[in-house]
Chains A and B, each alone.
Chain A
Amino acid sequence: MTMIRLLAHPVLVFAYILALLPAVVHAIGQTVSLATEIVTFILTAMGFNLLLGYTGLVSFGHGAYFGLPAYVAALMQVRLGAGIVPAMLSGALAAVVLGTVIGYLVLRRRGVYFALLTLAFSQMFFAIVFRWTAVTGGENGLGGLQRPPVRIGDLTIPLSNQLVYYAIVAALTVLAVAFLWRLVESPFGRVLQAIRENELRARYLGYDTGQYKLIAFILSALLTGVAGVLYAFLIYFVYPQLVHVTMSGEIVAMAVVGGMRAFFGPALGATFFVLLRQILSGYTEHWLVVFGALFVFVVLFSPEGFAGVISRILPARPRPPIRRPLWEPTSSPDRTDPDPLVTPGEPVLVAKGLVKRFGALAAVDNVDLTVVRGRLHAIIGPNGAGKTTLFNLLTGLFPPDAGSIFLNGKEITGLPPERITRLGVSRSFQIVSIFQELTVFENVRIATQARSRHRLSVLARADDLLDVNAECARIIHLVGLAGKEDKVASSLPHADQRLLEIGIALATRPTVLLLDEPLAGLPPEERQRIAELIKKLSREVTIVLIDHDIDHVMALSDVITVMHQGRVIAEGTPDEIQRNKEVQQAYLGEIRVDGRTPPPRVEREPWVVVEGIHAFYGKAHVLHGVSLTLSRGEVACLLGRNGAGKTTTLRSIMGIVPPRSGRVVFGGREITGWPPEDIARLGIGLVPEGRRIFPNLTVEENLRIAWRNGRGRWDLEKIYRHFPKLAEIRHRRGEFLSGGERQMLAIARALMGNPSLLLLDEPFEGLAPMVVSDIVRIIQEIRGDVTMLLVEQNATLALGLADYAYIIGTGVIQYAGLPGELLARHDLLARLLGVTMSTGRGQ
């Protein structure tokens, strides 16, 4: 750094301002002690913000770390006659002890409980300080603190001199701020920010986040405690209000009003607070109302606080470019990583007898899996097969109910995610889980850093870890994001975010990489890009893949495991799987000899029109212009593989996922973008995926809540006549129902709304054959009166029921026509819905 740059370093600028502060304060007619007060609160607020702004933890009890160390220092001097320096140091020590003990207790809980616990502890300390009059002086506090001169060698420092004391306080604060600046830039500081953004992801990169949060808590308590001690010796007095929740609140307010996301924000807030108090209290004793109102205003309209406002007014400073090492791609960027423990061809990840239940449902039911090093292993299966649950078990998100998992022969069952990652299993998520507000480079660096021995360092400069940076650059280049390092992750298009997701998972140097639907929500060209990347990576690391894009899965994998309803039903090479009858059946459904084919409808007058809708989940473009129509009174079915967009189509019609373009017209009325409650009131009902019955309501309450007056005249009595099983269990709470019972209830509930259009999302899933025929019977009864759009996995069953059939694939309608025709062409069905490749190979 050049000399000019050095002299203009923000921390030094801060120091200059502090040097000038006494003069400024004097100019407005105040004493130096006001300046000292300002500086102590700057230290307080900035120490607090390490937790709030950087780690994302809200502490409503920081008054305890401000006031109690002050009390300790005061007690040391007043009751025990200690010198001022030992007294101050004891205060600082007390802050560390307090931070450690309370932090440990409080951080064991998350979210709501964490915030409430900090509040409660603070009040507890207040109660103790207030009541323990003998020791603390009770509500009158403890006075008589002194600042005797301190001798260092030949030098005598007259601490009682206000200006001298100011200089000491200011110097300590500048030191603390310099430390904080360094900390924020350090590997440790980067991890704190990652925790704030996405704690689960940070754990999945191998970070023991509990450790980091505790250290941040202790550091925060220490800084605030030092400030409290300095303040006590400024006013020569300690009193209970310093520990009170009001004090905690003022600290929070300072940080928020000043701007919790800016480094110096809290300093601004603290300065403003103290000045305002001083000036206004001359006019009114109710200056806190003004500050409180300002606080409310900031929260409502400008959550970035003053600092945010300022940064919008000033011209934007360009972010300094990250110093990157001179790394050039070598002629062989693919690096083989010989793992001395396992040779190619040997099992690297083995699972035996895995079971995981959620309530009465076995999501994973006695699954064995052997992943062999060097072979690309895919796991496929229809909806609800248990694939993602299996991944969650393998990566330690929760422990299995039974069974064991081995990595390179070592058992890893029940270990937490951060440990499993460090041992060599890494994953990407179905829904992109990256650090949205960090740049691409920082995202990857956080991941790479997890293996560095500097990962807990508070003083190193994260940017300076050359080996980490070099590895980052290599990975960014490998996944194809070269040139985009400085882009903020949230600004990337969806495909690039997926590449980044893979890059992050790769950066932890895994032995096995689990990719959960890496192609989901992408258009064909992008899928190709990612599929090629996966192929390239499979030479470097063993990959296990879940995806629904059968074409790519067949082309990429060496081994395929097929799951259905929690069990493994087949395993083999792509060719073997394509020829496997049982697998075809699982995907297409069983041929049902019903004998009841409805009369073909010749004329179709569109009553419900869906035209060219595009729908997104965040950035994932799921529907690419879906169009379909329904005639009044008909039953239409919408088939397709998982991830094709069936459920999204229904949700778009229902208004839960408003289309970004296109139209939905119902009985002549355009309902695109209407909120779901208004759409429901028009007479559209939904039997949603996952049933979604209310677990805390009884069967009867679930039904009652859904009742709307309507043509079908469905009411409780009629429902009970048609669903006698539900009548039997009418007083049972939803959470105690079996899967089949819930499904029945979900359908009955939708009927209670007396809809004229009924959207059904996989209504037959998990139902026993007898119940299936009950439901079929009901559908036959109400068809004609109620128009239905049926999304089903079981294609043959649906085709047997429907008047018209649609097939959707990769977000567009691929087939529309009469069910009879489709049933007659089994090869077409297999191609569109089954495990046969679209290109016709393996037919």
Chain B
Amino acid sequence: MPELSLSLLIQFIANGFVVGMYYTLLALGLSIIFGLIGVINLAHGALYALGAYAAYVFSRHLGFFPALVLSPLIVAVLAMAIEVTMLRRLYLKDPLLSLLLTFGLAMVVEQLLRMIFGAAGLPFDIPQRLQGFVRFGMLPYSRYRLFLLIVGILVIALLWWFLERTPYGRIIRAGTRDPEMVRILGIRLAPVFTAVFGIGAAMAGLAGVISAPLAGVEPAMGTAVGTAAFVVVVIGGMGSFWGPVIAGLLVGEIVSLFVLLYPPAADASMFLLMALVLLLRPRGLLGERWEKFE
């Protein structure tokens, strides 16, 4: 076990948050999609992968920062197109069908990526300006990881502000509890559904972009992270905003801890955490009791 100095400890905790950040971004997207539309988006991991691949393409031609903005947008546009042309048809039918659809789409996307870009991982370097270390007094910390933390926190804050302080966010929140009443108030919900699907997708795409320099870009990246996102949502509990946030960071820390202490169990550790949480709090940490989940 490496020597624990304060500097190392802080770095370690921060790294845990970094890992947790992608989980949180994905889990939040999943949570609002399910909350409003009622669809479990099994294609979420694929959207994450798409974001990373789009970033790969864009950054080669335009640079990292343009890619950072464009990739989530592209992913969102694609997702919204899917919602309008395919997912929408299934809202009034058996919920199993929309589940199967997103699952099938995930399969198709992953295979398409494999087909177009090859099965091997693609190189994606940390952009020049974000390389190296930043010093906090005596503490050095990876500049890129710091950047990632800042972007993540900004996005979460932005989403919170959007949901809690804007009229559109109000509509989304109201729609998660009583969509029919929202319509009775004269608000068309179909565009709101599309927008929310797009927002969730954009967050997944963004997570893909920012994780690319650290985790690499390869076709199977969506599946592992996608499942982790679901585990985070289950642990955090559905129906709350802060649940997935706390759970994401928690899972990030736990996984990092295992990577440090006992790497072989790192992947499985989040499932152990999930099992533990569910035994003690069946609805997750901050989950709400709504009929639609049960």
The closest CB in chain A to the CB of B181 belongs to A692
Residues in A675-704 with C-beta less than 8 Å from chain B: 675-677, 680-681, 686, 688, 692, 694-697, 701, 704
The smallest C-beta distance from A295 to any residue of chain B, in angstroms, reads 4
A121 in the interface (beta carbon within 8 A): yes
B104 in the interface (beta carbon within 8 A): yes
Number of A interface residues, CB 8 Å? 62
Question: In the complex the two chains form, is A692's CB within 8 Å of B178's CB?
Answer: yes
Residues in A634-685 with C-beta less than 8 Å from chain B: 654, 656, 675-677, 680-681
B101 in the interface (beta carbon within 8 A): yes
The closest CB in chain A to the CB of B186 belongs to A680
A414 in the interface (beta carbon within 8 A): no
Write out the residue numbers on chain A whose beta carbons fall within 8 Å of the beta carbon of B94: 303
Residues in A123-143 with C-beta less than 8 Å from chain B: 123-124, 127-128, 130-133
Write out the residue numbers on chain A whose beta carbons fall within 8 Å of the beta carbon of B170: 697, 701, 704-705
Question: In the complex the two chains form, is B180's CB within 8 Å of A676's CB?
Answer: yes
Given the known inter-chain contacts A656-B180, A694-B173, please indicate yes or no for A704 contacting B167, CB distance below 8 A: yes
B281 in the interface (beta carbon within 8 A): no
A245 in the interface (beta carbon within 8 A): yes
The smallest C-beta distance from A655 to any residue of chain B, in angstroms, reads 9
The smallest C-beta distance from B294 to any residue of chain A, in angstroms, reads 5
Contact stretch, chosen from A213-221, A286-294, A623-631: A286-294
Question: In the complex the two chains form, is A113's CB within 8 Å of B294's CB?
Answer: yes
Question: In the complex the two chains form, is B233's CB within 8 Å of A116's CB?
Answer: yes
Write out the residue numbers on chain A whose beta carbons fall within 8 Å of the beta carbon of B238: 112
Expressed in whole angstroms, the Cα–Cα distance for A627 and B227 within the complex equals 56
A357 in the interface (beta carbon within 8 A): no
Which of the residues B97, B186, B278 comes within 8 Å of A299, measured between beta carbons?
A: B97
Write out the residue numbers on chain A whose beta carbons fall within 8 Å of the beta carbon of B42: 60
Expressed in whole angstroms, the Cα–Cα distance for A449 and B238 within the complex equals 39
Given the known inter-chain contacts A113-B293, A246-B223, A292-B104, please indicate yes or no for A694 contacting B177, CB distance below 8 A: yes
Q: Report whether over half of chain A's contact residues are helix, strand or loop; otherwise say mixed.
A: helix
Question: In the complex the two chains form, is A292's CB within 8 Å of B111's CB?
Answer: yes
Expressed in whole angstroms, the Cα–Cα distance for A701 and B181 within the complex equals 14
The smallest C-beta distance from B175 to any residue of chain A, in angstroms, reads 9
Contact stretch, chosen from B49-57, B67-75, B209-217, B260-268: B260-268
A300 in the interface (beta carbon within 8 A): yes
Write out the residue numbers on chain B whose beta carbons fall within 8 Å of the beta carbon of A749: 185
The closest CB in chain B to the CB of A128 belongs to B268
Which of the residues A127, A288, A753 comes within 8 Å of B111, measured between beta carbons?
A: A288
Expressed in whole angstroms, the Cα–Cα distance for A130 and B265 within the complex equals 10
B 241-276 binary contact with A (CB < 8 Å = 1; else 0): 000000000000000000000001101100110110
Which of the residues B101, B104, B176 comes within 8 Å of A696, measured between beta carbons?
A: B176
Residues in B139-183 with C-beta less than 8 Å from chain A: 167, 170-171, 173-174, 176-178, 180-183
Expressed in whole angstroms, the Cα–Cα distance for A692 and B230 within the complex equals 31
The smallest C-beta distance from A352 to any residue of chain B, in angstroms, reads 29
Write out the residue numbers on chain B whose beta carbons fall within 8 Å of the beta carbon of A108: 282
Question: In the complex the two chains form, is A753's CB within 8 Å of B177's CB?
Answer: no
Given the known inter-chain contacts A288-B107, A292-B108, A300-B89, please indicate yes or no for A120 contacting B234, CB distance below 8 A: yes
A454 in the interface (beta carbon within 8 A): no
How many B residues touch the partner, as a band? Answer: 35 or more
Question: In the complex the two chains form, is B185's CB within 8 Å of A753's CB?
Answer: yes
Write out the residue numbers on chain A whose beta carbons fall within 8 Å of the beta carbon of B89: 300
Expressed in whole angstroms, the Cα–Cα distance for A112 and B99 within the complex equals 10
The smallest C-beta distance from B171 to any residue of chain A, in angstroms, reads 6
Question: In the complex the two chains form, is B183's CB within 8 Å of A676's CB?
Answer: yes
The smallest C-beta distance from A605 to any residue of chain B, in angstroms, reads 26
A109 in the interface (beta carbon within 8 A): yes
A51 in the interface (beta carbon within 8 A): no
The closest CB in chain A to the CB of B223 belongs to A245
The smallest C-beta distance from B104 to any residue of chain A, in angstroms, reads 4
Which of the residues B106, B167, B181 comes within 8 Å of A688, measured between beta carbons?
A: B181
Write out the residue numbers on chain B whose beta carbons fall within 8 Å of the beta carbon of A300: 86, 89-90, 101
The closest CB in chain A to the CB of B169 belongs to A701
A 221-249 binary contact with B (CB < 8 Å = 1; else 0): 00000000000000000000000111001
Question: In the complex the two chains form, is B115's CB within 8 Å of A656's CB?
Answer: no
Residues in A117-166 with C-beta less than 8 Å from chain B: 117, 119-121, 123-124, 127-128, 130-133
A840 in the interface (beta carbon within 8 A): no
Given the known inter-chain contacts A58-B96, A289-B112, A704-B167, please indicate yes or no for A127 contacting B271, CB distance below 8 A: yes
Question: In the complex the two chains form, is A705's CB within 8 Å of B180's CB?
Answer: no
A 293-306 binary contact with B (CB < 8 Å = 1; else 0): 10110011001000
Write out the residue numbers on chain B whose beta carbons fall within 8 Å of the beta carbon of A705: 167, 170-171, 174, 182, 185, 187
The closest CB in chain A to the CB of B94 belongs to A303
Expressed in whole angstroms, the Cα–Cα distance for A299 and B94 within the complex equals 11
Question: In the complex the two chains form, is B103's CB within 8 Å of A249's CB?
Answer: yes
The closest CB in chain B to the CB of A708 belongs to B186
The smallest C-beta distance from B181 to any residue of chain A, in angstroms, reads 5
A115 in the interface (beta carbon within 8 A): yes
Question: In the complex the two chains form, is B34's CB within 8 Å of A112's CB?
Answer: yes
Write out the residue numbers on chain B whose beta carbons fall within 8 Å of the beta carbon of A115: 40, 99
Write out the residue numbers on chain A whose beta carbons fall within 8 Å of the beta carbon of B293: 111-113
The smallest C-beta distance from B5 to any residue of chain A, in angstroms, reads 29
Question: In the complex the two chains form, is B184's CB within 8 Å of A110's CB?
Answer: no
Write out the residue numbers on chain B whose beta carbons fall within 8 Å of the beta carbon of A113: 234, 293-294
A194 in the interface (beta carbon within 8 A): no
A256 in the interface (beta carbon within 8 A): yes
A481 in the interface (beta carbon within 8 A): no
The smallest C-beta distance from A395 to any residue of chain B, in angstroms, reads 19
Given the known inter-chain contacts A58-B96, A675-B183, please indicate yes or no for A694 contacting B174, CB distance below 8 A: yes
A252 in the interface (beta carbon within 8 A): yes
Write out the residue numbers on chain B whose beta carbons fall within 8 Å of the beta carbon of A111: 292-294
Question: In the complex the two chains form, is A753's CB within 8 Å of B101's CB?
Answer: no
A 430-470 binary contact with B (CB < 8 Å = 1; else 0): 00000000000000000000000000000000000000000
Expressed in whole angstroms, the Cα–Cα distance for A120 and B42 within the complex equals 12
Question: In the complex the two chains form, is A296's CB within 8 Å of B267's CB?
Answer: no
A586 in the interface (beta carbon within 8 A): no
Question: In the complex the two chains form, is B111's CB within 8 Å of A58's CB?
Answer: no
Write out the residue numbers on chain A whose beta carbons fall within 8 Å of the beta carbon of B265: 131
The smallest C-beta distance from A784 to any residue of chain B, in angstroms, reads 23
Given A124-B271, A295-B107, 14 further pairs, Cβ under 8 A: A58-B99, A60-B42, A116-B233, A123-B224, A127-B267, A256-B100, A288-B111, A296-B105, A677-B186, A677-B188, A686-B184, A694-B174, A695-B177, A749-B185
What 5 pairs between A and B have smallest CB-CB spacing? A680-B186, A127-B267, A124-B271, A292-B107, A292-B108
| B contacts, CB < 8 Å to A | 34, 40, 42, 86, 89-90, 93-94, 96-97, 99-101, 103-108, 111-112, 114-115, 167, 170-171, 173-174, 176-178, 180-189, 223-224, 227, 230-231, 233-234, 238, 264-265, 267-268, 271-272, 274-275, 278, 282, 292-294
A–B complex contacts, Cβ < 8 Å, 19 sampled? A60-B103, A105-B275, A112-B40, A116-B40, A116-B234, A120-B234, A121-B271, A252-B100, A253-B104, A292-B105, A295-B104, A300-B90, A692-B178, A692-B181, A694-B177, A695-B177, A697-B170, A701-B170, A705-B167
